[in-house]
């Protein structure tokens, strides 16, 4: 049974807004390489820049701002320096680490090859599971999502992700870490089904 929000009836993500260095290259990448329809374009008032929206499916959008005088990106702080498995994937508090586009598991291998055929450098396929390393080379019943990662022209880390199992109460089993590096005991595990 899917988890239910009893406070707000959210309907997914309306849009995620990022900042690009070159809107033309952004359009070429997202519309022409990834095939996302461009659904809305705006020139911002006062000649401040532009705001473009791309359809990512299910009524959700990915939006980009282009600001004439935006600061340059700082890899390793504002975004990961490297793809998972290839180097430092960490980014700073308040940053956006990566965007994962949900795809059908049956299309995963085809879409990965399609990226390569379009000249996109991609990470190795990561089959995420609950093992000690949390990844495996082989697809087995414990794999919950399959992933491949790549960068857009501005260094935004993107992921194609395919869920491979339905979650249940056993999948929520870790108490969260606090800023001081200690675990907040009981915040998760004390709830029903974990006591």
Q: Which two tokens stand for residue 28?
A: 């070429």
Per-residue b or e along 71-95, where b marks 16 or more CB atoms closer than 10 Å to that residue's CB:
eeeeebebbbbbbbeeeebebeeee
Contacts by 186-194, CB closer than 8 A, 24 or more apart: 193/169, 194/169
More confident position, 53 or 189:
53
pLDDT, one tens digit per residue, over 112-169 is: 999 999 999 999 999 999 888 899 888 999 999 999 999 999 999 999 999 998 888 8
pLDDT of residue 2: 67
Residue 20 makes CB contacts below 8 A (sequence gap 6+) with 26, 64, 65, 66, 153, 154
What class, spelled out in words, does domain 1-71 have in CATH? alpha beta
More confident position, 27 or 45:
27
Task: Give the single-character DSSP code of 81.
Answer: S
pTM of the model: 0.84
| Average pLDDT score over residue span 21-35 | 95
């Amino acid at each position: 049974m899917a988890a239910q929000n009893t406070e707000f009836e959210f309907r997914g993500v309306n849009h995620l807004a990022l900042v690009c260095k070159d809107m033309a290259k952004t359009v070429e990448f997202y519309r022409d390489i990834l095939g996302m329809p461009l659904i809305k374009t705006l020139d911002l008032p006062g000649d401040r820049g532009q705001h473009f929206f791309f359809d990512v499916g299910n009524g959700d959008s990915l939006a980009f701002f282009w600001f004439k005088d935006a600061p340059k990106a700082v890899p390793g702080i504002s975004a990961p320096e490297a793809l998972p498995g290839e180097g430092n994937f960490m980014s700073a508090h308040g940053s956006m680490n990566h965007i994962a586009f949900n795809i059908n598991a049956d299309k995963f291998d085809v879409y990965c090859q399609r990226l390569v055929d379009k000249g996109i450098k991609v990470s190795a396929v990561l089959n995420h599971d609950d093992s000690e390393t949390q990844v495996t080379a082989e697809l087995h019943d414990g794999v919950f999502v399959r992933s491949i990662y790549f960068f857009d022209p501005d260094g935004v880390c993107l992921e194609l992700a395919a869920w491979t199992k339905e979650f249940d109460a056993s999948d929520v089993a870790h108490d969260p870490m606090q800023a001081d590096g200690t675990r907040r005991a009981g915040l998760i595990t004390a709830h029903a089904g974990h006591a």
